[in-house]
Structure 1
């Protein structure tokens, strides 16, 4: 089921705030670059996967996965994480 564009925009704004306030400067910078490049064009499904990364994954784990220092568990190893890795030069 698809949601309307207003609701998607609200989700994007929440992610913009959450992504810029992760707790570590390194993650804030990395996620900020990702959001600048992709947030406006992400599908509803991609937004959902990004929300899971932002809400469920601790900063230290996220940074290791995003920079390619460690492999992410299968449930988090998604197209969205790969897009972040590309911006961090991990891929």
Structure 2
């Protein structure tokens, strides 16, 4: 059963990575894709759930929250959203 669980986990991570990198909005792709590459393998199941919900948010809304142009609605505030805010600030120093 552990092997099946690991396979399910890896499949879920691949799906989330694909979605993070292919949003159709280049700035969001760069931030979310790199964040996913760095963090998915270490996320808890709860964190994966949160990330999965966030990547379903429309690009312009999510990007506005990430760069803190717009306030994040209470229902989307989370440790993952906080990490994305910080990740954005570090990511642009690498470019």
Q: TM over 0.5, yes or no?
A: yes
How many angstroms apart in 2 are the aligned matches of 1:5 and 1:83? 25
1:59 aligns with 2:59: yes
User: 2:38 matched to 1:37?
Assistant: yes
Point out which structure has higher relative CO (alpha carbons under 8 A, 6+ apart): 1
| Number of residue pairs the alignment of both structures matches | 87
Question: Do structure 1's residue 9 and structure 2's residue 10 form an aligned pair?
Answer: yes
Post-superposition, which runs of at least 4 consecutive aligned residues in structure 1 deviate over 6 A? Answer: none
Question: Which structure's residues are more often helix, by fraction?
Answer: 2
Q: CA deviation at 1:8?
A: 1.4
Task: Work out whether residues 22 and 29 of structure 2, in 8 Å CA contact, stay in contact via their aligned partners in 1.
Answer: yes
The answer to whether the aligner puts 1:74 opposite 2:45 as a matched pair is no
Structure showing greater radius of gyration is 2
**Structure 2 gaps, min length 5:** 91-95
1:7 Cα deviation (Å)?
1.3
Q: Give the alignment's Cα RMSD to 1 decimal.
A: 1.6
- 1:14-61 Cα deviation digits (max 9, x unpaired): 001111111100000011121122111001000000000112x10000
Secondary structure in 1 aligned to 2:75?
coil
Give TM-score, length-normalised by structure 1.
Answer: 0.88
TM-score (norm 2): 0.85
